[in-house]
Structure 1
Amino acid sequence: MRASNPYKWGNLLLFLGVIAVNTLSVTLPLGGNSTAEISDRYHTYLTPAGYAFSIWSVIYLLLAGFVIYQFRSSTGARDSVQRIGIWFMLSCLFNMGWLLLWHYLYIELSLAAMVLLLLSLIVIYRRTRFIPNPTTGEKWLVRLPFSLYLGWISVATIVNVSVVLVKNDWGGFGLSGPFWAVIMLCVGTVLAVLVSFPYRDSIYPLVFVWAYIAIAVEHKDTNEVYFTGLIAAGLLLLYSIWLLLTPRRSRNRY
């Protein structure tokens, strides 16, 4: 166990910055554009129903738990917290950058910011998966927040790519929008399995279940997207349950 986390004040200030920017994006809103208005302007066959975005409340609540956890003298010096290092601060900067660029309609640049956010979360996620004999605090306040966060940003990146393509009138190589949506839903399903299986992480694919059901609900009149979303969500739900029921000796559970 090392000295107290040297990044704890930076983590706190930048996390508060994320909350502030998120609040302004709703109350002002930033750029005079609400998230719903931008979503409607660049609506794609992968755009989820509006309720899906309520997952941010859970993510930020858990991240607040992480920030508090790393301030405690008995836990902030643990290797599980120290390994995250500067990456949480970077993730906060990329999160704020994405929100500002998105609301001011720099859509292509917002995708670049989201990819950087995704990469920073991948680094954090991998580091949190190698905690030997995690304590209850580490399971709930170090591992869980970043499994959920990475899961949602993984889905959001796929959606943002589709937004950029729609904005730029991409022809889809002659294939229809619903067909490409089906392809991307399948790609996302494979991604959810490939990322979660090595770590026996049942939370990461559950985020895809949440998102896919919301996509199906939003596109219930487009049969290809609707049924693919529901079937993929069902398969990932069964897969998550299977991971959850895997014997403890073969994986670290939440």
Structure 2
Amino acid sequence: MSAARSDILRQSLVISAVVFMVIAAMFGAGVFGGTPVQDLQNGALAADATILAPASRAFSIWSLIYLFMLAYTVWQALPAQRASDRQRRIGYPIAVTAVLNGAWLLAAQFTTLPLTVLTIVLLLVALGATMRLLVRHPPRTATESIFTDVTVGLHLGWVTLATVANITAWLTAEVAPESWSVVADVWGIAVLVAVVLIAAATAIGTRGRLAPALASAWGLIWIGVGRFSGEPESTPVAITAWIAAAIVVAVPLALWATGRRGELPRR
């Protein structure tokens, strides 16, 4: 296959993958006869189901992520991007993340909580690998950075939080004993500390890219709101989540301020 045909195929597959993701999202929002996500799995994925579930307004970030994904899809399809070496490296990985995103929504609709956990973990791994490629092959322009690094970064940062929430939903609904609620606050705080460590490692690994931190912090803020003003109520978890949000954003800002971002060599 010639390089030109291979590039067109890549661009077409990215378009197809993102269209699939958007259709699945609409289905998950209750369009086309689908059941809204908060009502699936006996309510295990609802905003008031677990100690680490973000308040419902947190999920509005998906609209922003989808907007960036659609913008990337149009941009990467332009003739000027067809033979881009960077697009040749990241086009297929981004398509994989779009497919897994849509697959999670279908898994939530039609399968079981353990399969949703497996799917979202695969999505997190795919996003992490894609972000790593972007770091190793830095953008040449600010425009390219917005369409690629910001898009993947927002997706990665939010899915990091969503993975924690999804695993917690599964454990709470199907694994944890009745006594779980007695130590829920302690367990929730411990997990939030782990989230901070993961987010800090992400900031270092992505050389201070801010988008993942902002998306993770958004989720943490709304976990705090959910626990402070909703059910299950937990002031300790709410305060910890808000502190965690501040730390998550502070780490990449500190890397920028101290000039310790560095860059990985191109390969």
Stretch of structure 1 that moved more, 235-244 or 40-49: 235-244
Decide whether aligned partners of structure 1 residues 178 and 80 sit closer, same or farther in structure 2, where only a CA change above 3 A counts. same
Q: 2:22 is paired with a residue of what secondary structure?
A: helix
1:186 partnered with 2:198: no
1:59 partnered with 2:65: yes
Decide whether aligned partners of structure 1 residues 171 and 30 sit closer, same or farther in structure 2, where only a CA change above 3 A counts. farther
Report the residue type matching 2:218 in the other structure. W
Partner of 1:165: 171
Partner of 2:43: 41
1:147 partnered with 2:150: no
Partner of 2:30: 27
Which whole-Å CA distance do the structure 1 matches of 2:124 and 2:149 have between them? 16
1:117 partnered with 2:123: yes
Decide whether aligned partners of structure 1 residues 30 and 179 sit closer, same or farther in structure 2, where only a CA change above 3 A counts. farther
Q: 1:83 is paired with a residue of what secondary structure?
A: helix
Structure 1 unaligned spans of 5+: none
Q: For the Cα contact (< 8 Å) 1:108–1:164, is it kept in 2?
A: yes
Q: For the Cα contact (< 8 Å) 2:69–2:151, is it kept in 1?
A: yes
Which whole-Å CA distance do the structure 2 matches of 1:92 and 1:30 have between them? 22
How far off its partner does 1:211 sit?
Answer: 0.7
Q: 1:129 is paired with a residue of what secondary structure?
A: helix
Superposition RMSD on alpha carbons, in Å? 2.4
Q: 2:51 is paired with a residue of what secondary structure?
A: coil
Q: 1:46 is paired with a residue of what secondary structure?
A: coil
Q: 2:246 aligns with which of 234, 247, 252?
A: 234
What is the TM-score with the length of structure 2 in the denominator?
A: 0.85
How far off its partner does 1:85 sit?
Answer: 4.2
Q: 1:168 is paired with a residue of what secondary structure?
A: helix
How far off its partner does 1:233 sit?
Answer: 1.3
How far off its partner does 1:73 sit?
Answer: 1.6
Q: 1:9 aligns with which of 9, 12, 29?
A: 12
Q: 1:219 is paired with a residue of what secondary structure?
A: helix
Which whole-Å CA distance do the structure 1 matches of 2:218 and 2:131 have between them? 20
Which whole-Å CA distance do the structure 1 matches of 2:186 and 2:42 have between them? 20
Q: 1:45 is paired with a residue of what secondary structure?
A: coil
Aligned length: 250
Q: Deviations over 1:29-80 (max 9, x none)?
A: 765x322224882211000011111111111111112111211121232122
Q: For the Cα contact (< 8 Å) 2:104–2:119, is it kept in 1?
A: yes
Which whole-Å CA distance do the structure 2 matches of 1:5 and 1:240 have between them? 36
Partner of 1:72: 78
Q: For the Cα contact (< 8 Å) 1:39–1:47, is it kept in 2?
A: no
Q: For the Cα contact (< 8 Å) 2:11–2:91, is it kept in 1?
A: no
Q: 2:237 aligns with which of 197, 200, 225?
A: 225
Report the residue type matching 2:54 in the other structure. P
Q: For the Cα contact (< 8 Å) 1:69–1:76, is it kept in 2?
A: no
Greater helix content: 2
Q: Deviations over 1:60-113 (max 9, x none)?
A: 111112111211121232122111142222222222221011123511111111
How far off its partner does 1:171 sit?
Answer: 3.4
